[in-house]
Structures are given as structure tokens and as C-alpha cells.
Structure 1
Amino acid sequence: MNVHSHYHDWETIDEVRQRAHRWGVCRYVMSALGAPGGVPGNEVMERMLADHGDFIVALFHLDPDAHPVDAVYRAKEAGFGGVKIIGTLKPYDAEAYYPFYDAVEKTGLPVLFHTGFLSISPSQRRRTVSMMNMRPGMLDTLGRAFPDMKMIGAHLGSPWFLEAMATANFHKNVYFDVSGGAVRANSLPFFRRLFAFRDASTADVKDMPLPPDDDAPNMELVRKLMFGTDNPPPERIVPFAVKLLDGLGADAETRARFWYRNAAEVFSLDI
């Protein structure tokens, strides 16, 4: 199951579905950003649900700098399966946004947060868009304030990978997807060290001043990952994901959680 995708008007949804099925991907979670370059907005995605609801889980693009809080409830009523938040003018954990998160938590809609660096586009001119507002550690704040809100951080929080892993480690409802070119640009040794992150509650440190020098991946942490493509087609991402899981020595449970089980639980799907 692909938890992070965008629909572009140069490809029909039937073509997207056929390509996905060739690579064994049964469902697409699609964001509705309404951005330049052929990305549909919320209205288009809502109309697509009528014909393709068996394949698409549509995310409502929630802009807390422009939308009213009631937009969250309307999205739920319209059949959206979650919300996408990206490019906010304030930090994600600004208290000004708390009424939106309260509504999200009450409706049970999961949130896909863009985390980390956001690609530069002309539409950002004269807007205060900064990756500093989208740091993955801000999901730690939100996990404390809204513990029942299900959150997915995109792109492993790039470039704050370790911050993302620490956040996922401590919050049961925080996950991260592996989409993004900056993620795929890193080496297997980098990932093995990253996913070796442990805290005193999970590492057998006993009376040692430091934990042992052990790069064995923490499978409980790897199980907080999800498969996502973002813009590229699955044939560019699936091979990377397979190599990553193989290199980390992922067991059957970890692979199931990565490919579909985490997503099915977060989006309340029976797959």
C-alpha cells in the first residue's frame, strides 16, 4: 500500500492503477494539494472518490493558515480518508493550529505531514515557506498534546533523520514514510546506523556508561516505517525499498508492517 502519492493530470487514474498493480501495490493514498503543475485540488479528488474509492484513499489538503476548522469535519463527511499538511507559515506545533488538530483527533482522520526540506517552486515567492516550520521533531510536541492523532511524517524527516527516528520511537501513533530522493540518496551503512537508534528503555545498557557499539537495526523502530512513492512511479521506489529491507535484515512481521499493515491500521482498511 502506497501511503504517499500525488495524482497528475498527464496520467489517468486507470493508468496509475495498472502501473501500481504490476508492482503489487493495491491501494494509493493520494494528496490533493491543488498546486501548479497538474496536481488536482480537493474538489477534483472528491469527485474521483465516486469512481475510484476502491483504489484511492484521498487526503484533504488542509491549510491551517487559510481554512476554517470546520473544513476538517467537511472533509470527513465528504469521504476523505485523511488530511495532508504541508508548507505552513508557522511551525507545525504552533498552538494557533491546535483547534485543527483537535478536530482531526476527534474525527479520527490520520495526518500526513510533509517533514523536512520542501522543494522550491515559484508559487512560494513572497511566502514564508521554511523547512524549519516542518521539522519532524514537531510531531513529538503534537504526539504529547494529541496522543490519539495518527501521524505519518513524509521523507523520513530529511535532513533530520535521527530526529524523526527518535520521535517515532517514543510515540506509538507516529510513523514515517521512505519517499523522497534525499532518502534514496543515502547508503545502506547510513540506514543501518540510523535504525540502530535505541533509548535506555529498549537498550540493555545496565551499568555501562555507554551502550555497546552495535549497529544492529532496532526492528521495533523499523516497524514504524511505511512504503510511499511521492511523485515517482512505483518501479523507481519498490526496488529501493526491497534492498533497504533486505539490508536491514527485516523479518516477516517488519516487512508486512512496512508494505501494508501499518497503513491498513492507520487508515482503518481491511486489506
Structure 2
Amino acid sequence: MTRRIDPDAVDAIDVHTHVQLSVAEASAPDRSESFDAMAKYFKTDKVTRFTVPMLAEYYRARRMAAVVFTVDSAHQTGREPNPPNEEIADLAAEHSDVLIPFASIDPHRGAAGVRAARSLITEHGVQGFKFHPTSQGFFPNDRMAYPLYEVLQEHGMVALFHTGHTGAGAGQRGGGGLRLKYSTPMAVDDVAVDFPDLKIVLAHPSFPWQDEALSVAMHKPNVYIDLSGWSPKYFPPQLVQYANTLLKDKMLFGSDFPMITPERWLEDFAAAGFRDEVRPKILKENAVRLFGLAAETG
């Protein structure tokens, strides 16, 4: 029987981590131009690709849980996600004391993607889906994606949308062909209206649309914000202000590991002006509520 995360056994829940290596690969493949551009953007050249078991070991050693996923951008890249969703979900089930599996379906897959999503939920136990509108080349409110959202809402999934700037393609010629316009939070506002029971997370400080993200999260009860992808010392002042007040129950800890480590994020978080009573909410309590987790009892 699959175990569930015991909130009392972890100190934090990182809602944003990437699986970038399949267990089927004997060793990490050569880093791509896109991967190197991302590492340069995050000012690190020591990024290691992690398999699901590696992530489980890493987070378990730190008394943390983590949401794990890949990104399916087959429409733009012509490549299938690696590792595949099924591998991530099935291996995460073996480490379900610390891992929460998400899947990623490119909305351009149409009916085939909808069928795959349903299978990933019912047969592989995924608990949410990651969308990266810039990498996938679509506006979240494109009706093309609505049949996919219908399945997610039906099954009580969490939909995590990348918003704002991205390190993907940064510095490459033509931005690697990626268009930032797709990741405006206001496009997700339409999704929150049309799917009011779908649990939605706006990923990252949403530069240059931070105020839009705050507005959407304040206005729509089903919308949260994760704080991944940036060191907290660079957070816009209004993000910290609203996290301390009106949105204190809707902010989530996320690192964007392995590009940013949880250690680095937490060290900067401690000095970023968040109130003492708010920090536990961001680090764990809000995620416990979002994912419906409950402490195991004797």
C-alpha cells in the first residue's frame, strides 16, 4: 500500500523540483545548450541531474518532502519528455514518504493527452500536473487545453503553471524560440474562473507581472503562489508584503531544485523579512492543506 507523507515527519514541503535523469540511463548525458543556458542564468555550473530515487534520498536526508516532475514540451522541441511521466510516478510511489508525483502533458497533444492524463491519475497515482506555457507554446486560457483541465478538476488535481520570466532559453539566440508572453498570470485568471474547483498554483515570483499574480491569488480562492526559482533576497517588496498579510495562507515554499538548492533558498528566506508566524505556513502548513495531507495517527 502506498504510504502518504506524514507532515509531522518533515520540516518543509518543496512544491517545485525537477527530475532530469532517467534511471534507465547509465550516467548523466552530455548537458544540452538549453541546460547550460539555464545553469548560466542561475549562476551555477555545478548542477547535477537527479533521478527520482536520488531526489528521494536528498530530501529525506533533509527532513523534507518534495513535488517532483518533468516538463513535456514535445510540440516545441519534437522530443518526448525524459524521463517519462510514468517512470516518475511509479518511482515516486516507492518513496511516497517524501515524494509527491506530478505529471506534465503538452496541451497540444489534444485528445491523446487527455487520455494520457486520465491514465496517469487513475493508474499511476499522480497528484498534480505541471504546465510551462512558455516552453509548451500556449496561453493557459487557450480552449485547446480545457479538456485537459476538465480531467484535472474532476479528479481533484493540482495544476502548477509556470509564470513570468524563465531561465529556459535565456541568453540563447532568439531566446531559444521561447516566447515570454505565454506565461502571464492573467491568462491563468481565466482558467481559475472557468474551473473554480481546480486547485491552481502560480509558480515563481512572476516578474514582470508580479502585481497581476498577487491580484489573481487574492481574487480567486483556488489560486496559490509558489516562491520557487528566485532566491528570497531578490523577492519584490510587494510579494513579501502580501505573503506576510493578505496571502499568508496561499504562499508555498518551492526551490526549483536542482537549479536552486533548498539550503540556499532557506538561508535567504530566513533573512528576507517574513514574519515568524508566517514562515511555518509557507514552509509546510499551506502545502499540507493544498494536498490534503494529514498526520498519521497510531
Normalising by structure 2, what TM-score? Answer: 0.72
Q: Which amino acid aligns with 1:7?
A: V
Q: Deviations over 1:121-163 (max 9, x none)?
A: 4999898632211111222111111111001111122221111
Q: Deviations over 1:44-85 (max 9, x none)?
A: 203313421222111111211125322221121111111111
Given the superposition, is the C-alpha separation of residues 71 and 124 from structure 1 closer, same or farther in structure 2, using an over 3 Å criterion?
A: farther
Question: Alignment RMSD, CA only?
Answer: 2.9
* Percent identity (aligned): 26
Looking at structure 1, the residues matched to 88 and 251 of structure 2 have their Cα atoms a distance apart, in angstroms, of 26
Q: Does 1:219 align with 2:231?
A: no
Q: Which residue of 2 aligns with 1:41?
A: 84
Given the superposition, is the C-alpha separation of residues 218 and 170 from structure 1 closer, same or farther in structure 2, using an over 3 Å criterion?
A: farther
Q: SS in structure 2 opposite 1:79?
A: coil
Q: Is the 8 A contact 2:67 2:100 kept in 1?
A: yes
Give unpaired runs (5+ residues) of structure 1.
Answer: 198-216
Q: Which residue of 1 aligns with 2:130?
A: 84
Q: Deviations over 1:210-269 (max 9, x none)?
A: xxxxxxx7512133210011122211111122223xx13242xx3232111221222222
Q: Which residue of 2 aligns with 1:214?
A: none
Q: Is the 8 A contact 1:34 1:40 kept in 2?
A: no
Give unpaired runs (5+ residues) of structure 2.
Answer: 1-12, 22-48, 74-78
Q: Is the 8 A contact 2:153 2:198 kept in 1?
A: yes
Q: Which residue of 2 aligns with 1:268?
A: 292
Q: Which residue of 2 aligns with 1:241?
A: 269
Looking at structure 1, the residues matched to 285 and 88 of structure 2 have their Cα atoms a distance apart, in angstroms, of 24
Q: Which amino acid aligns with 2:16?
A: H
Given the superposition, is the C-alpha separation of residues 194 and 264 from structure 1 closer, same or farther in structure 2, using an over 3 Å criterion?
A: closer
Q: Which residue of 2 aligns with 1:68?
A: 113
Looking at structure 2, the residues matched to 124 and 79 of structure 1 have their Cα atoms a distance apart, in angstroms, of 39
Q: Which residue of 2 aligns with 1:16?
A: 55
Which of 88, 97, 121 aligns to 2:145? It is: 97
Which of 199, 204, 207 aligns to 1:158? It is: 207
Which residues of 2 match residues 111-260 of structure 1 at below 5 A? Answer: 111-121=159-169, 129-181=178-230, 184=232, 186=234, 190-191=236-237, 193-196=238-241, 219-231=245-257, 232-244=260-272, 247-251=273-277, 254-260=278-284
Q: Which structure exhibits the higher relative contact order, with contacts defined as CA atoms closer than 8 Å and separated by 6 or more residues? A: 2
Q: Is the 8 A contact 1:150 1:174 kept in 2?
A: yes
Looking at structure 2, the residues matched to 270 and 239 of structure 1 have their Cα atoms a distance apart, in angstroms, of 27
Q: Deviations over 1:179-238 (max 9, x none)?
A: 113x54626xx42x34546xxxxxxxxxxxxxxxxxxx7512133210011122211111
Q: Is the 8 A contact 1:139 1:174 kept in 2?
A: no
Q: SS in structure 2 opposite 1:113?
A: strand
Looking at structure 2, the residues matched to 121 and 82 of structure 1 have their Cα atoms a distance apart, in angstroms, of 25
Q: Which residue of 2 aligns with 1:202?
A: none
- How far has the Cα of 1:88 moved from its partner? 2.8
Q: Does 1:5 align with 2:17?
A: yes
Q: Deviations over 1:86-125 (max 9, x none)?
A: 1232211112211111111111110111111222349998
Which residues of 2 match residues 47-66 of structure 1 at below 5 A? Answer: 47-66=90-109
Q: Aligned residue pairs: how many?
A: 242
Normalising by structure 1, what TM-score? Answer: 0.78
Q: SS in structure 2 opposite 1:48?
A: helix
Looking at structure 2, the residues matched to 258 and 194 of structure 1 have their Cα atoms a distance apart, in angstroms, of 13
Given the superposition, is the C-alpha separation of residues 194 and 13 from structure 1 closer, same or farther in structure 2, using an over 3 Å criterion?
A: closer
Q: Which amino acid aligns with 2:98?
A: F
